[in-house]
Amino acid sequence: LSAFRQREAVSAVGSSNMENDISLKFHQQLFLISENLVTEDVAALKFLCTDLLHLSKLEGVKSAADIFKLLMAQEYLNVEDTFLLAELLYRIKCHSLLEKLGYTKEKVQERLGEKGRISPYRQMLYELSENITSEMLKEITFLLQDHLPKRWMILSALDLLTLLEKQGLLTKHNVKILEDVCVTVSPDLLEKIDLYKKGKVLYCNIFSKPDVHTAAKLLKELGVLPSFCPTKIHKRRCVMLSGVEEGTPVDGVFYSKVGLKYMVLEVLVIFSFKNTMKSYKMDGPHRGFCLIINNVNFNSSQRKGSCKDAEQLERVFTWLGLDVRTYTDLTSGEIINLMETWQRVPDHKDRNCFICCILSHGKSGAIFGTDYRLVSIRVLTSHFTAKQCPQLAAKPKLFFIQACQGDNIQCPVYVDTDGPTPDLSSMQERVFLSESIPEEADFLLGMATVDGYVSFRHMEEGSWYIQALCSKLQLLVPRGEDILSILTQVNEDVARRNSPSGTKKQMPQPAYTLRRKFIFPIPITPPPS
């Protein structure tokens, strides 16, 4: 008996140690996440948690760790269930931190319908704040001055929204004060509010119906149940909602009326987004600027064929109505200085978009100046965020990079690689493509190749990627295709090509945070070639 009790005690101690280890690892994960969140991220988390945590407690928050403690105290967050934190990171677009919780962006998206806690109202307000520039905020503050305390400084859009909620001027049932100011300041902002209100009305209409088939009929009449279904599960649900008999099994499972109604709502969300997707404004008198950085001459090598790429890009983007500026053989410092110069150009205000094409050698997540010094692609793109370049806020910013993103490969005659000649074994580790674009809206990054691999350039005809890009733009813009559809065709074109030896391939890769379709207006003149 004594031996049995000893074994039981040892077992209990072992179990306790294991629990302590798990708890320690969990808190270490939270600490690492907290350390990677800046002041703006913490402010965003506080705002998104407003419906979950008492406002008086949130006011004392100084760091993300403080928020995590409050969520754990209310049992919203624990070792077994970290989804709320994953949802919060997803909402503030800190996607790279999701892996610390064992999630990906796609996994979070899949489970939002089932486990999401942030209300559509709170999401709408946060998305609205993300699109309010500093200039818009000044205008809104001026319009609302009679409702704001005297001598009260508005530090951010989130501060303003929080104040309006405290005063009872803004609630999930009454967003009129926002509508009134958005009509004057930016009709684009008004669209987000309208979409939220329509969703609310449809939600109420669906749940007031006596049976799910009437609700499904309502959605059909609204055009919310077309043939488009993004995943198998959504296709199953569309089939269910289109069925004649209630209680018909789908995949061997029977669903109740309430369960089906929730599925109606999930499908509604999907299709309301799909059907309301609009295009960026591209009908202004000035299309925008297009920068081409063409690095040809390096100390010990020359990127032959690159001038062919630069010439073709200049012809095509000029044809598309952009004001093209070409810069040749820039060092890393000169590239950074150029970005800083164009960041401050006031003429962006009268343009519809901004495009930058870079032709050079490269490594994972970076390109080389002619001095063989790396420049992070993230650093380049971050010059044109809404905060750094307010004139381009809410406008599409496109970057096309022709450069290797991995190890140099020796190629046969006529085929060269856009990788560096020097020994670069000590250079940085690989960078995920999603980390090369700012975590905010309206960016597109078109890479000649996936991370870790070389990209190919014909020494006479130019690079595979740039030549395919120019060719598809000339072919598909006159057909009214959007940029993502065009880049998909570019992928197909490049993927079919082979090096002369027939052993080397290439696959381009786009990454984007575009909120709308980007469609070039169809030029009056025929394509340049």
Catalytic site residue 404? yes
Strand, helix or coil for residue 29: helix
| 395, 456: one domain | yes
Residue 380 makes CB contacts below 8 A (sequence gap 6+) with 335, 336, 339, 356, 358, 367, 399
pLDDT digit string, tens, across residues 249-283: 433 433 344 444 444 444 444 444 444 457 898 98
pTM for this model (two decimals): 0.49
| 44, 138: one domain | no
DSSP 281: -
Strand, helix or coil for residue 373: coil
Measured in degrees and rounded to the nearest 5, phi and psi for residue 359 equal -115, 110
| Domain closes at, from 116, 135, 166 | 116
| 96, 129: one domain | no
Domain CATH number, residue 84 = 1.10.533.10
Give pLDDT, residue 135: 80
Give pLDDT, residue 236: 40
Measured distance between the N- and C-terminal CA atoms of the chain, rounded to whole angstroms:
92
Q: What's the gap between Cα 297 and its chain centre?
A: 35
Q: Could you tell me if residue 525 is inside a domain? A: no
Q: Could you tell me if residue 280 is inside a domain? A: no
Alpha-carbon span 91 to 111, nearest angstrom: 13
Confidence of residue 231 (pLDDT cuts 50, 70, 90): very low
The catalytic residue among 404, 411, 458, 470 is 404
| Structure-model confidence comparison of residues 114 and 371, the more confident one | 371
| 263, 291: one domain | no
pLDDT digit string, tens, across residues 143-166: 988 888 877 677 789 999 999 999
pLDDT at residue 19 greater than cutoff 70: no
218, burial (CB in 10 Å: exposed 0-12, middle 13-18, buried 19+)? middle
pLDDT at residue 222 greater than cutoff 50: no
- What average pLDDT does the structure give for the chain? 77
Q: Could you tell me if residue 422 is inside a domain? A: no
Q: Which of 40-44, 364-368, 424-428 is the least confident region?
A: 424-428
Q: Could you tell me if residue 417 is inside a domain? A: no
pLDDT at residue 35 greater than cutoff 50: yes
Instruction: Give the CA distances from residue 453 to residues 17, 430, 450, 465, in Å, rounded to whole numbers and listed in that order.
Output: 45, 10, 6, 14
The catalytic residue among 348, 361, 383, 458 is 361
CA neighbor of 467 nearest in space, from 447, 493, 444: 493
| 367, 506: one domain | yes
Q: Which of 22-31, 177-186, 204-213 is the least confident region?
A: 204-213
Alpha-carbon span 466 to 476, nearest angstrom: 15
Angle at 362 between CA 359 and CA 363, to 5 degrees: 160
Residue 112 makes CB contacts below 8 A (sequence gap 6+) with 87, 90
Q: Could you tell me if residue 165 is inside a domain? A: yes
CA neighbor of 114 nearest in space, from 156, 81, 79: 81
- Do 297 and 370 touch, CB atoms closer than 8 A? yes
Helix (H) or strand (E) holding 411: none
Alpha-carbon span 180 to 8, nearest angstrom: 69
Whose tokens are 């025929």? That residue is 526
Angle at 484 between CA 479 and CA 490, to 5 degrees: 80
| 167, 145: one domain | yes
Alpha-carbon span 397 to 441, nearest angstrom: 9
| Domain closes at, from 75, 94, 116 | 116
DSSP 520: P
Overall residue count recorded for the chain in this entry: 529
Q: Could you tell me if residue 240 is inside a domain? A: no
| 22, 79: one domain | yes
- Do 71 and 79 touch, CB atoms closer than 8 A? no
Catalytic site residue 361? yes
pLDDT digit string, tens, across residues 336-361: 999 999 999 999 999 999 999 999 88
Q: Could you tell me if residue 231 is inside a domain? A: no
Domains contained in the chain, number: 3
- Do 349 and 394 touch, CB atoms closer than 8 A? no
Domain CATH number, residue 294 = 3.40.50.1460
| 50, 129: one domain | no
Q: Could you tell me if residue 414 is inside a domain? A: no
| 452, 502: one domain | yes
pLDDT at residue 121 greater than cutoff 60: yes
| 112, 130: one domain | no
Host domain of residue 149: 124-225+254-273
Alpha-carbon span 137 to 153, nearest angstrom: 12
100, burial (CB in 10 Å: exposed 0-12, middle 13-18, buried 19+)? middle
Q: Which of 6-20, 87-101, 108-122, 405-419 is the least confident region?
A: 405-419
DSSP assignment string, 45-106: HHHHTTTTS-HHHHTT--SHHHHHHHHHHTTSS-SS--HHHHHHHHHTT-GGGGGGGT--HH
DSSP 347: G
| Structure-model confidence comparison of residues 471 and 263, the more confident one | 471
| 291, 265: one domain | no
Give pLDDT, residue 354: 97
Whose tokens are 């950074």? That residue is 336
Provide mean pLDDT across the span 31-56.
90
| 159, 92: one domain | no
Whose tokens are 């760091």? That residue is 63
Alpha-carbon span 380 to 366, nearest angstrom: 9
- Do 409 and 454 touch, CB atoms closer than 8 A? yes
Confidence of residue 487 (pLDDT cuts 50, 70, 90): very high
Asked whether the CA dihedral 219, 223, 229, 235 is positive or negative, the reply is positive
pLDDT at residue 243 greater than cutoff 70: no
Alpha-carbon span 236 to 468, nearest angstrom: 38
| Domain closes at, from 76, 92, 116 | 116
